[in-house]
Amino acid sequence: MKIIYSHILLALCILLTPQLASGQHRVSGFIKDSLSREVMVGAHVIDSTRMRVVATDNNGFFSISIKNGNALTFSFVGYKTKTYVHSTKTDTLLEVLLSPANDIDEVVIKHTKRLTHNISTLSNVELQQLPSLGAKPDVMKAIQLLPGIQSQNEGASTVMVRGGNPGENLYLFDNVALIYVNHLGGFTSVFNPDIINNINVYKGGFPAAYGGKLSSIIDIAQREGNVNSTKGSYSIGITDASFAVEGPTPIKNTTFIVTGRKTLIDPLLALASHLSGGGDYIITYGFHDINGKFTWRPDSKNSLSFNLYQGDDYLNYWYSEKSLSGSEKARLANVWGNWLLSTRWSRVHSPRLYSTQSLSYVRYRLKLRQTYENTKPDNQYDITRKFLSSVQDISYKWGFKGEVLTGWKIDFGLQSSLLSYNPNSIYLSNNPTVTNEPKINALESAIYADNAWEIPKVLNLRLGARLVSYATKNYNTIRLEPRASLDININTNHSVNIGYMTTNQFSHLLFTQGEIMSSEVWVPADKSISPASTEQLSGGWRGVFANGMFDAEVSGYHKTLTSISTYAEGYSTLMGDGTWRSKVESGGDGRAYGAEVFIRKNQGKWTGFVGYSWSKAFRRYNGINDGVEYVFEYDRPHSLSMNISRKLNQNLTLSASWVFQSGLPFTPVIGRQNVPELRLLTDEEPDYYEAFVYGERNSARMKSYHRLDLALHYSTYTRYGNKAQWTFAVYNAYNRKNPFSYVYTHDTSMEGSVPTPFFSGRNTYEPFTLYQASFFPVIPTVSYKVFFGEPKPEGYTPRKKRSLLQKLLYH
């Protein structure tokens, strides 16, 4: 702790003193689009004289030292470069506006970009081009194409990073942690691509500013509204409709952006279920989400923003049967989702010091209500059941970025979160004596400091630490998380890296794989459930070839996990009664290791990438598998992904993605036996039923998973001069029957409800049969998107106004 405080005090003292390095001045500022004034994340600032390159952060901010008389070049793919010559003897703050390069087909910058390790980046442009289920881009499915990141199951948007589980990923939405990130049982993510500016994914080597999760940091930067005019889009697809509106407000120097999505299948599903069930029952499912951001920039040094997100999934079921003697009714309502409210203030104190402060409120809750009523005289019954699980997070963050001396940067700050957990609250009308455990309140706070030293052309060294305090009513702990990363530059095109980190997680996600009706609940650490922790050592090489046309990366890692938690053997939900701790298996440990290769083509008519990872992951719990280590449920040793994109002409782009993954492990059945039925308070002879005998846990694997997705993007204009885009997509183009789950049964009646047996005996007297359930065949989809507020195409002539009768006759 003393070391971190000394770092902070030293940085503040030096930052407030005059320039110490003779002849060196600090040039800082923001790079923005000249038309929309949207900040540009990942733009490059190049000092060709000293062969130094820096990139803008998620706020579009950059800072670089330069000698008087030297020139800086500002560049971003698809934009005209701009040059600035430093001619003053003082530090300078700039606002750099880059113009789109609309007059040429391709921009090639003959300069090597800065090599970074342990971080993968996706821009909004790349996101929009990737094929996806529903012909609309999906953030999480795009991330799954990166090496070291795998899907939970067929079609799922949940991600597993380097042998971790979905609850070990930190999702930052404009630097605010979002708790639940999926719709439709994990098949669609909650992030609307229309509001996304850039995505950074850290698989290891976390900066000290990030903590609280074990496996990854997924940092998503939102866009700000257009400063010049009101514009937007609306689109419709097979699954949902969406809209986006942005522009300036009547208040000076302010902008807004609002996006929203809503499913279209709700009434169709209700009608189909009503007809198929003879009018006895109705089932509906749907989701919605809405994002809003308001930004005020009173001057070039200050920015204040307000964010709102709200999204819910809802599954509803109604059943009703009436007769002359009475009626039978049932109702189920399941709702789960997030609220997010936040405000952030960013300030440039000087060309050497930049800070951000944020205050946020996030709430995730899962609600279930069930009712049943039977009024028939011989079987009257009435019951109501309610279940609630929730997490609330009120957080404050204050961070600084600055330069102490030329080549020495520091990132430091503090964070504090007040959390309220309600893992399991239940009400049963037929058992009002059920007692629920009280809510658990926790305070999680941290201070951090990251030092980065750079010797141009030689090395980059980052040393940092994060001191974390966690406290509940009956438990508290303080933990130190050291971080280190060393980049050694072989030359301007190649570098190697080695990194080490430790991090802790003070809440555990309990989830059931593959269920549309969510059962994801968060339980906090306390005296009976220890916080989870991990250590990770990683290393790798990264290089650039052919003037930046290709870049490649090879990396490896080894990580250990301790005090992890999951559902206890035999449980898949906390519902059932007011107690929940007995259903949690804690104190587990795990290990994971692997190697990753990634090659990307950045320029030319053909662009794309290839990623491959080899990995292994294991878990061990005292109360599971007799305490013997077993293969993790989501272990996929081999994972290969390929993406190509070809711009056929100005209006037509073709893209394709192919993925291959080893099959998920499962526990095989090796026999069956007769088991006596459990009977209480009776002397009768028990009945016997057949039960399966299972082999070693997760000792078998499902069939390998692979599929091909295609997308064709066609840009055109509507009759009113608005830009429009058709997207035609095919999911699983060659109709691969990938396994979603395996089912063992010796009940031949199952043949009517499950697919053709994967393995079947020669006759009906065989002891069991293994069936494969596959849910996603070849799925062609289409979406249509219209943009409004954009400049009209050249040569466009406005249409004359027509009467309603003329419009009807025209159509």
For residues 258 and 580, the model is more confident at 258
Domains, the chain: 23-98 (2.60.40.1120), 119-221 (2.170.130.10), 222-545+559-603+613-664+702-740+777-787 (2.40.170.20)
| Residues whose CB is less than 8 angstroms from the CB of residue 352 and which lie 6 or more positions away in sequence, other chains included | 15, 26, 28, 63, 91, 402, 403
* H helical segments located in 62-180: 124-129, 139-143
E-only strand ranges, 37-91: 44-47, 52-55, 61-67, 71-75, 82-85
Give residue 187's identity as a one-letter amino acid code. F
- What's the chain's length in residues? 811
Average pLDDT over residues 342-349: 93
pLDDT at 753: 40
> How far lies 227's CA from each of 1, 32, 194, in Å?
44, 11, 17
Residue 293 has a pLDDT of 94
| pLDDT grade for 622, boundaries at 50, 70 and 90 | very high
Average pLDDT value for residue range 503-516: 76
Mean residue pLDDT across the chain: 82
Range in 136-145, 252-261, 353-362, 479-488 with the lowest mean pLDDT: 136-145
pLDDT band for 20, please (50, 70, 90 cuts).
very low
Ramachandran region, residue 139 (left: φ > 0; alpha: ψ -120 to 50; beta: rest): alpha
Q: Are 422 and 388 in contact (CB under 8 A)?
A: yes
Q: How confident is the model at residue 8 (pLDDT cuts 50, 70, 90)?
A: very low
Amino acid at 244: A
Phi, psi of 141 (to 5 degrees): -70, -30
115 confidence band (pLDDT: 50, 70, 90): low
On the question of pLDDT at 746 being above 70, the answer is: no
How many whole angstroms separate alpha carbon 470 and alpha carbon 415?
12
Tokens for 67, please give them: 């000698």
The string of pLDDT tens digits covering residues 698-745 is: 888 999 999 999 999 998 888 888 889 899 989 889 999 888 888 777
Mind listing the pLDDT tens digit for each residue in 150-176?
877 766 667 889 988 888 999 998 899
pLDDT reported for residue 682: 57
For 2, the 3-state DSSP assignment is helix
Half-sphere exposure in the Cβ direction for 273 (13 Å, CA): 16
> How far is CA 783 from each of CA 199, 236, 251, 392, 652, rounded to the nearest angstrom?
24, 6, 36, 36, 15
Among 208-212, 320-324, 473-477, the least confident range: 320-324
Q: Find the mean pLDDT for residues 402-419.
A: 90
pLDDT of residue 457: 77
Q: What is the mean pLDDT of residues 451-461?
A: 86
More confident residue, 791 or 261: 261
Beta carbons of 171 and 99 less than 8 angstroms apart: no
Sequence letter at residue 460: N
- What b-and-e string marks burial along 605-634, b requiring 16 or more CB atoms within 10 Å of the CB? eebbbbbbbbbebbbbbeebbeeeebbbbb
Contacting residues for 447 by C-beta, under 8 A, at least 6 apart: 1, 4, 5, 8, 412, 413, 414, 415, 466, 467
Nearest to 287 by CA among 311, 259, 310: 311
pLDDT in the model for residue 801: 58
The pLDDT assigned to 750 comes to 44
Q: How far apart are CA 695 and CA 672, in angstroms?
A: 11
Give this prediction's pTM. 0.83
pLDDT of 349 above 80: yes
The answer to whether residues 424 and 434 touch, using CB atoms and an 8 Å cutoff, is: no
pLDDT of residue 564: 92
**Beta pairing, strands 169-173 & 216-222:** parallel
The pair of structure tokens assigned to 534 is 């991990």
Tell me if 392 sits within 8 A of 407, measured CB to CB: no
Euclidean distance between CA atoms 560 and 571, whole angstroms: 26
Q: What is the pLDDT of residue 18?
A: 40
Say whether 165 sits in a helix, a strand or coil: coil
* φ, ψ dihedrals at 306, nearest 5°: -125, 135
Letter for the amino acid at 672? R
Span 288-298, average pLDDT: 93
Q: Mean pLDDT across the stretch 474-479?
A: 93
* Mean pLDDT (whole number) for 137-147: 80
| pLDDT, position 802 | 59
